[in-house]
């Protein structure tokens, strides 16, 4: 894993996934009598991939597993522990990229309007939802934010993923929600304790990924939104709404933290659809069209 972290600059989430993938692969190979890396062949790895397919693993999961395998065996080859890379001719399954779930601006407004202001929990929930939509952060980045990562004067957060760091701006609504949370709610939730974490749960501990998933599900149902809302839904909506409003795609790429511009471009279809809808409404209603 030090090779992946040092040379490949892999994120912490990627390292955890790779370690789990390789552990499960080694268990399968051991169960089939393959106890040495030098005994692994293309045939044995294909057998493992077929095993994953028979057990209902998604193509995206198998693709990630194969990436883990390739990184591992490439490293072993470099170390001189193998004479040939058994993953060299493996074929990655074709992945049909599904269109991301994107909320309309009206649905986002309804969602963000749900948390009240009568309890510290509601004030915190409002701040988290506003900041997530304002910045498009990943849920892991959101719950990892520390007080020192937030600049309320200028209006930006600094988030980190391994050695990578990026700065993302946010607007007035998120700033007001954060200010209220910090002044009125965070101290109550901490119950006299101290933490560097920006967001804390009702027990005064750092907010967990699972805890925030429950929060966003609750408010999605309360808002009467039919879509299966996850924290990533707001991230997708952030990018799509920015592009729909005419933002530069490379600026959106930087804010999202996408290594590949092609990942950001998947939101372009939504943006074009929104512009067409506005154009049609204009042409159909404007008296001087």
Of all helices (H) and strands (E), which one includes residue 44?
helix 42-54
Give the whole-angstrom CA distance, residue 13 versus residue 213.
17
Q: How confident is the model at residue 1 (pLDDT cuts 50, 70, 90)?
A: very low
Q: In this structure, are residues 272 and 284 in contact, taking their beta carbons and an 8 Å threshold?
A: no
Domains and CATH numbers, the chain: 2-78 (1.10.150), 105-280 (1.10.443.10)
Give the whole-angstrom CA distance, residue 129 versus residue 174.
9
Average of pLDDT values for 79-103?
A: 80
Query: What is the DSSP-derived secondary structure letter of residue 170?
Result: -
Average of pLDDT values for 199-211?
A: 94
Q: What is the 3-state secondary structure (H, E, C) of 216-236?
A: HHHHHHHCCCCCCCCHHHHHH
What are 29-40's pLDDT values in tens digits? Answer: 999 999 999 999
Give residue 279's pLDDT: 46
Give residue 118's pLDDT: 92
Give residue 93's pLDDT: 72
Q: What is the 3-state secondary structure (H, E, C) of 58-120?
A: CHHHHHHHHHHHHHHHHHHHHCCCCCCCCCCCCCCCCCCCCCCCCCCHHHHHHHHCCCCCCCH
Torsion angle defined by CA atoms of residues 130, 13, 236 and 271, in that order, rounded to the nearest 10 degrees: 130
Give residue 282's pLDDT: 40
Q: In this structure, are residues 13 and 160 in contact, taking their beta carbons and an 8 Å threshold?
A: no
Position 106 pLDDT exceeds 90:
yes
Give residue 169's pLDDT: 93
Q: How confident is the model at residue 22 (pLDDT cuts 50, 70, 90)?
A: very high
How confident is the prediction for the chain on average, in pLDDT? 85
Position 208 pLDDT exceeds 50:
yes
Question: At 179, is the secondary structure helix, strand, or coil?
Answer: helix
Q: In this structure, are residues 51 and 38 in contact, taking their beta carbons and an 8 Å threshold?
A: no
Lowest mean pLDDT among 3-7, 62-66, 212-216: 3-7
Query: What is the DSSP-derived secondary structure letter of residue 12?
Result: H
Q: How confident is the model at residue 203 (pLDDT cuts 50, 70, 90)?
A: very high
What are 143-197's pLDDT values in tens digits? Answer: 999 999 999 999 999 988 766 789 999 999 999 999 999 999 999 999 889 999 9
């Amino acid at each position: 894993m030090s090779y992946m972290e040092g040379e490949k600059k892999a994120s912490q989430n990627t390292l955890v996934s790779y370690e789990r993938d390789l552990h499960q692969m080694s268990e399968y190979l051991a169960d089939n009598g393959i106890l040495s890396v030098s005994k692994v062949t293309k045939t044995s790895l294909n057998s493992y991939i077929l095993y994953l397919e028979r057990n209902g693993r998604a193509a995206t999961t198998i693709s990630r597993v194969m990436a883990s395998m390739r990184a591992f065996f490439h490293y072993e080859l470099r170390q001189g522990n193998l004479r040939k890379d058994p993953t060299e001719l493996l074929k990655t399954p074709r992945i049909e990229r599904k269109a991301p779930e994107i909320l309309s601006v009206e649905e986002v407004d309804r969602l963000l309007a749900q948390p009240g202001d009568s309890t510290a929990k509601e004030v915190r929930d409002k701040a988290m939802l506003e900041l997530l939509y304002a910045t498009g952060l990943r849920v892991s980045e959101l719950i990892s934010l520390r007080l020192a990562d937030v600049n309320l004067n200028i209006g930006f957060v600094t988030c980190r993923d391994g050695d990578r760091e990026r700065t993302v701006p946010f607007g007035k609504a998120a700033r007001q929600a954060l200010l209220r949370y910090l002044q009125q709610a965070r101290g109550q939730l901490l119950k006299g304790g101290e933490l560097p974490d920006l967001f804390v749960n009702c027990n005064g501990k750092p907010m967990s990924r699972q805890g925030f998933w429950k929060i966003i599900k609750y408010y999605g149902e309360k808002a009467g939104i039919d879509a299966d809302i996850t924290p990533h839904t707001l991230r997708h909506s952030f990018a799509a709404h920015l592009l729909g409003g005419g933002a530069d795609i490379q600026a959106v790429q930087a804010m999202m933290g996408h290594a590949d511009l092609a990942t950001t471009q998947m939101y372009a279809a939504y943006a074009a659809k929104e512009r067409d809808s506005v154009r049609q409404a204009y042409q159909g209603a404007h008296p001087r069209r």
